Amino acid sequence: MALTDDAIAKIRSMIQSGELPPGTRLPPEPQLAAQMGLSRSGVREAVKVLESARVLDVRRGDGTYVTSLAPRLLLEGLGLAVELLRDDTLLEVMEVRRMLEPVATGLAALRMTDTRLDELAQILQDMRAAADDAEKLIQFDTAFHHTVIATTGNETLTSLLDGLSSRTLRARVWRGLIEGNAAHKTIDEHQAIYLALRSRDQLLAQASALIHVNTSEAWLRTVLAAKPTRS
């Protein structure tokens, strides 16, 4: 493991220094191992780890390349990690969302195009038509918030919030809302966000998003509190 860690550190250093910029093909394994003064097995394992992390792209029969290093690739694993978090930690995730999502929504109000606003209007219409269907609501809820955050033009922020808003987390909240006959109220909160964005009101958009995240967090707490405890 120590040799693998050394190889990972050296490859990362080569990427960070610009010696191996995005899109560059790595030297063949024997050459790379000799260049770094490490064993071929250590280099091979390091490449596997960095491939899993979306830093390297191994193309069979062609070679190994540095990826684009785009945030959407490097942060791709965040969603999987969130899916595996336990209940108490999911509440921490909601806390992080509460810190980031309202500010991002306020920024979106300044950058939202009419085309994007029309897309949100259609999503809202679809949400109201599916008010009792948890699976469809999860799908439309995901599309709504992704469209809003992507409007900021900040790929890192978009990838981060996409990862924090896992499907499992949304499912728990929406199923709780439907069971509690509160789905329509939450859809109205989406409507409030949309109207604030349509008016280009940054502070109102931020406040509307904060109310919405707080509602989602409250329902998640309710769902977790009702979860049967193991004896």
The token pair that represents 76 in the structure block: 């791709």
What pLDDT was estimated at residue 80?
78
Average pLDDT, the chain: 90
What pLDDT was estimated at residue 28?
93
Distances (CA, A) of 191 to 25, 100, 117, 141, 198: 48, 20, 11, 12, 10
pLDDT (mean) for 127-146: 92
Q: Give residue-wise pLDDT tens across range 78-93.
A: 877 887 777 778 888 8
What pLDDT was estimated at residue 165?
85
**pLDDT-based confidence at 1, cuts 50/70/90?**
low
| pLDDT at position 12 over 50 | yes
With tokens 């967090």, the residue in question is 217
Three-state SS for 137-149 is: HHHHHHHHHHHHH
Three-state SS for 79-110 is: HHHHHCCCHHHHHHHHHHHHHHHHHHHHHHHH
State whether the Cα torsion 48-52-58-64 is positive or negative.
negative
Predicted TM-score of the model (pTM): 0.80
What pLDDT was estimated at residue 231?
41
With tokens 């004896």, the residue in question is 231
Q: C-alpha 195: how far from its chain's center?
A: 25
Cα distance between the two ends of the chain = 39
Task: Give buried/exposed letters for 22-34 (b at 16+ CB in 10 A, else e).
Answer: eeeebeeeeebbe
Instruction: Return d(Cα 118, Cα 225) in angstroms, integer.
Output: 38
> Pick the residue with more confidence: 77 or 199?
199
Question: Across-strand partners of 64?
Answer: 58
Q: What percent of the chain has pLDDT over 70?
A: 97
What pLDDT was estimated at residue 77?
79
Contact 108, 204 (CB under 8 A): no
Instruction: Return d(Cα 112, Cα 114) in angstroms, integer.
Output: 7
What pLDDT was estimated at residue 13?
94
**pLDDT-based confidence at 229, cuts 50/70/90?**
low
Q: Give residue-wise pLDDT tens across range 104-128.
A: 999 999 999 999 999 999 999 999 9
Q: Give residue-wise pLDDT tens across range 144-201.
A: 999 999 999 999 999 999 988 877 778 778 887 888 888 899 999 999 999 999 999 9
Give the CB-side neighbour count of residue 185, counting CA atoms within 13 A: 12
pLDDT (mean) for 212-217: 91
Rounded to the nearest 10 degrees, how much is the dihedral formed by the CA atoms of 189, 211, 120, 202? 130
Instruction: Return d(Cα 18, Cα 224) in angstroms, integer.
Output: 47
Residues whose CB is less than 8 angstroms from the CB of residue 48 and which lie 6 or more positions away in sequence, other chains included: none
